[in-house]
Amino acid sequence: MTLAEDNGPERGGDDLFAAEYVLGVLPVEERQIASRRIDAETDFARLVDGWEVRLSPLGAAYLEIEPPASVKPAIDRRLFSSAATTPAEPRAGLWSSLAFWRGLAVAAVAALALYVAVPYVNRPAEQPQARLVASLAADGSDVKYLAVYDSERHEVSLSHVSGVLAAGKDFELWMIEGKNAPVSMGVIPAGATAHIGVSPTTQRKLAQGAVLAVSLEPAGGSPTGQPTGPVVAAGDLKGI
């Protein structure tokens, strides 16, 4: 697989469809199709998860602001006022064109893919990637996590996407390196997000792109040091 195939929207098809879904530029009918596919198709759901991880840092540069009080009434007038009481709208131009915005969004995806890919290509061979990402999911399970390993902070950050934890149980995170026995990274704290510290030995293994897995264990974690319950989510760590 080439770098463009792995990272860029040039792949088209499902990859571009997933990117447009995350950007929010799909028409209602196509967005509904995408939502159904996320629920039914693990591979497509992982594409969506991957684009959410790639695009989410873009929002960090913007401060959260309170919209002016006049915005809501103005939107209501546009949506619900009758044609008889509302002045005729001016002819739609470039800035109100859905095609323009979809094209701009696709261009933004391409630019972002290039932004992600260029440092990857130019990175010296001996320099490890600072961040690795994994979309954790499994067939027959509704548990999904997004995992980001930050080698500079020496931690794995987890975002709980879906799946309900049964009473008296805990989710436990494991690292799997090749054919070696799984290594516990600890019980995953309850909540939408969690951060788990990584030991120096585990750091070296994660930097090589190990597999992360989540198992369902008794409260407090596995009593044996190895998974005792079913693996409900897993995925490969990959560079971004």
Looking at the domain assignment, is residue 172 inside a domain?
yes
Looking at the domain assignment, is residue 1 inside a domain?
no
Number of domains in the chain: 2
- With residue 169 as reference, give the H or E element that holds it: strand 169-176
The pLDDT of residue 220 is 94
* CATH number of the domain that residue 192 is part of: 2.60.40
Domain hosting 139: range is 131-239
Answering whether pTM is above 0.75, one says: no
The pLDDT of residue 223 is 94
Q: Which two tokens stand for residue 20?
A: 């447009």
Nearest-CA neighbor of 171 among 181, 36, 161, 179? 161
Q: How far apart are CA 231 and CA 163, in angstroms?
A: 13
Same domain, 148 and 234: yes
Rounded alpha-carbon distances, angstroms, from residue 76 to 16, 82, 84, 96, 133: 33, 11, 16, 18, 41
Is residue 136 a contact partner of residue 174, using CB atoms and an 8 Å limit?
no
The pLDDT of residue 129 is 60
Considering 25, 43, 59, which residue would you say is the last residue of a domain? Answer: 59
Is residue 54 a contact partner of residue 114, using CB atoms and an 8 Å limit?
no
Looking at the domain assignment, is residue 122 inside a domain?
no
- Where do the H-state alpha helices sit in the chain? 3-7, 13-23, 28-40, 42-55, 71-80, 98-122, 200-206
The pLDDT of residue 178 is 83
Same domain, 145 and 227: yes
Maximum Cα–Cα distance for the chain, whole Å? 73
Q: How far apart are CA 193 and CA 31, in angstroms?
A: 26
pLDDT (tens place) for every residue of the chain, 240 residues total? 333 334 343 345 788 788 788 877 778 888 899 999 999 998 898 888 888 877 766 555 455 667 777 777 777 777 776 544 445 455 445 444 555 555 555 555 555 555 554 554 455 444 556 778 888 998 889 999 988 888 888 899 888 888 899 899 999 999 998 888 999 999 999 888 889 999 888 888 888 778 999 999 999 999 999 999 999 999 988 876
